């Protein structure tokens, strides 16, 4: 069932969460699929509905700092300085977990990912539910994230109790995930809060790469990574959300450096970052931001991919952009969309 988010429907949604049900709700990043984070049977339903493997941990959403203390063992000054600056907002922090967090939420890790969303509907829902809400993006595992209630309905409509509809998510790309459990802060997923902003507050952040993966608990590894460890196997990847084929449209996608790489022919979709004079007949074209504004582009990325995916094109060509600011998260999602299992 999909309901417009109103005081009444949010109250109803809160009662569903309290009873152990599943509610999809808007956040400033993407729609989340929420359940009571302290109820393991309810959390198990999230994994079932999404077809998500149990080794992929969930983000716990809170609306006030009372819950931060309850859910973690230790909150240092570095963490507090980030919280003061960026919460509520699109920053998820991985911290040492307390014993009240069920293992199913964290996939057995000793850490928990916590985020305080800024979206008023998300905040009201969490408050009315009187419990922290575990919520991954409300899509089928590995597919495109939802930035509208209709995206959620198409993928999960029949499998969940309620979808709260509040239109389009303003940021449109998932939160930045930062691990703070090691000596050095570690970027586990680029997202809606640019890395540069984080580094202004806490200095240099280590970046996950094939040759520099964190260990299972989000700490940077000591010494060099052995070549055999470089492959992304389930057991070793600390954030399985980092699996390369995540966020995929069904249609094959190719990232291009130059528009000359686009062949002529029918059934081709093109994803432009900004308005371009380049045009080919018969092509389905989506422009992320006419003027090339990164914020606007990020907010349109998943919608444009959903539309191209449904337009019947056989292949999508996506223009690559510079990896600074939100460009890092946009390119990360495009790279994942371009990888097939
Ligand atoms: O913007 C967002 O973050 C959205 C909205 C709904 O809040 N949520 C979201 O959740 O994108 P999900 O489950 O699709 O992605 C969560 C990411 C995954 O890559 C997961 O592996 C990682 O966070 N994660 C969760 N708990 C973790 C932990 N304890 N340690 C390391 N990574 C963790
Ligand atoms: Mg997701």
| CATH number of domain containing 191 | 3.90.870.10
CA 218 – CA 130 distance, rounded (Å): 29
pLDDT bracket for residue 237 (50, 70, 90):
very low
Q: Is the CB of 106 under 6 A from ligand 1?
A: yes
Residues 166, 91, single domain; the answer is yes
Residue 145 resides in a domain: yes
pLDDT tens sequence across 265-295: 788 999 999 987 766 666 789 999 999 999 9
Residue with CA closest to ligand 1 atom 3 = 175
Q: Is the CB of 32 under 6 A from ligand 1?
A: yes
How many other C-beta atoms lie within 10 A of the C-beta of residue 244? 15
Residue 191 resides in a domain: yes
pLDDT bracket for residue 219 (50, 70, 90):
low
CA dist 108 → 90, 134, 214, 273 (Å): 24, 15, 16, 40
Q: Is the CB of 188 under 6 A from ligand 1?
A: yes
Residues 267, 178, single domain; the answer is no
pLDDT recorded at residue 210:
65
Of ligand 1's listed atoms, the one at least distance from the Cα of 33 is: 6
Residues 228, 264, single domain; the answer is no
At 82, list the tokens. Answer: 């980030």
Residues 113, 215, single domain; the answer is yes
pLDDT tens sequence across 56-81: 999 999 999 999 999 999 899 999 99
Structural domain that includes position 10:
2-232
Q: Is the CB of 176 under 6 A from ligand 1?
A: no
Residue with CA closest to ligand 1 atom 7 = 32
pLDDT recorded at residue 16:
98
Domain count, the chain: 2
pLDDT at 112 over 50: yes
Residues 37, 140, single domain; the answer is yes
Q: Output the average pLDDT for the chain.
A: 90
Residues 227, 297, single domain; the answer is no
Average pLDDT over residues 44-64: 96
Residues 81, 212, single domain; the answer is yes
Of ligand 1's listed atoms, the one at least distance from the Cα of 191 is: 1
Domain end marker among 176, 203, 232? 232
Residue with CA closest to ligand 1 atom 33 = 239
pTM: 0.91
pLDDT recorded at residue 260:
85
Residue 245 resides in a domain: no
Q: Percent of the chain scored above 70 by pLDDT?
A: 86
Residues 224, 311, single domain; the answer is no
| CATH number of domain containing 266 | 3.40.50.11030
Of ligand 1's listed atoms, the one at least distance from the Cα of 171 is: 1
């Amino acid at each position: 069932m999909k309901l417009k988010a109103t005081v009444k429907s949010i109250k109803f949604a809160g009662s569903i969460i309290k009873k152990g049900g599943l509610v999809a709700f808007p956040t400033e990043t993407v729609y989340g699929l929420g359940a009571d984070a302290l109820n393991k049977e309810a959390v198990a339903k999230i994994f079932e509905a999404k077809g998500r493997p149990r080794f992929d941990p969930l983000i716990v959403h809170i609306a006030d700092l009372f819950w931060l203390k309850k859910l973690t063992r230790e909150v240092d000054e570095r963490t507090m300085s980030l919280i003061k600056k960026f919460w509520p907002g699109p920053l998820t922090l991985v911290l040492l977990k307390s014993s009240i967090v069920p293992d199913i939420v964290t996939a057995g890790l000793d850490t928990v990912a916590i985020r305080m969303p800024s979206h008023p509907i998300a905040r009201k829902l969490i408050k009315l539910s009187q419990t922290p809400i575990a919520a991954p993006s409300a899509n089928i595992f590995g597919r495109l994230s939802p930035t509208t209630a209709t995206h959620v309905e198409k993928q999960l409509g029949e499998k969940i109790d309620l979808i709260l509809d509040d239109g389009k998510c303003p940021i449109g790309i998932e939160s930045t995930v930062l691990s703070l459990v090691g000596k050095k802060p570690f970027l586990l997923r680029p997202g809606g809060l640019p890395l540069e902003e984080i580094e202004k507050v806490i200095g240099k952040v280590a970046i996950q790469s094939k040759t520099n993966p964190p260990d299972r608990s989000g700490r940077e590894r000591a010494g060099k990574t052995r070549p055999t460890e470089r492959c992304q196997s389930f057991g070793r990847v600390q954030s399985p959300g980092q699996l390369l084929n995540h966020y995929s449209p069904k249609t094959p996608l190719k990232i291009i450096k130059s528009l000359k790489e686009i062949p002529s022919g029918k059934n081709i979709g093109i994803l432009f970052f900004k308005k371009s004079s380049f045009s080919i007949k018969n092509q389905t074209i989506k422009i992320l931001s006419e003027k090339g504004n990164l914020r606007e582009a990020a907010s349109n990325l998943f919608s444009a991919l959903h539309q191209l995916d449904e337009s019947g094109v056989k292949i999508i060509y996506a223009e690559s952009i510079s990896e600074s600011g939100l460009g890092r998260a946009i390119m990360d999602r495009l790279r994942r969309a371009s990888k097939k299992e």
